[in-house]
Amino acid sequence: MKIEPSILPSLAWFALIVRAGSFSRAASEMGITRAALSQNLKSLEERLNTKLIYRTTRNMSLTEEGQRLYEVLVSALGQIDDALKD
């Protein structure tokens, strides 16, 4: 899959949702609404043609695909952060 630059913010937002542990906390950290964050995730899932997060009104958990993507993103974002510090 060729990565389009326009997908990068959505990938970072996905990683933030997982790290924060909830849509509410992630949205609060970003200063956006939960609805905007949820819509962004839905668009990302549609672009990737896969479900990343199982959601209920009280809980969320990663799908297998979501877990794999998150692990890759944590590594990649860490490397980017390190490169920017140098």
Instruction: Give the model confidence (pLDDT) of 44-64 as tens digits.
Output: 999 999 999 999 878 899 999
Q: What is the pTM of this model?
A: 0.86
d(CA 16, CA 68): 15
What's residue 57's pLDDT? 79
Domains, the chain, ordered by start: 7-85 (1.10.10.10)
Angstrom distance (rounded) from CA 35 to CA 23: 9
Query: Got the DSSP string for the chain?
Result: -PPPGGGHHHHHHHHHHHHHSSHHHHHHHHTS-HHHHHHHHHHHHHHHTS--EEE-SS-EEE-HHHHHHHHHHHHHHHHHHHHHH-
Residue 19 to residue 21: CA distance in whole angstroms: 5
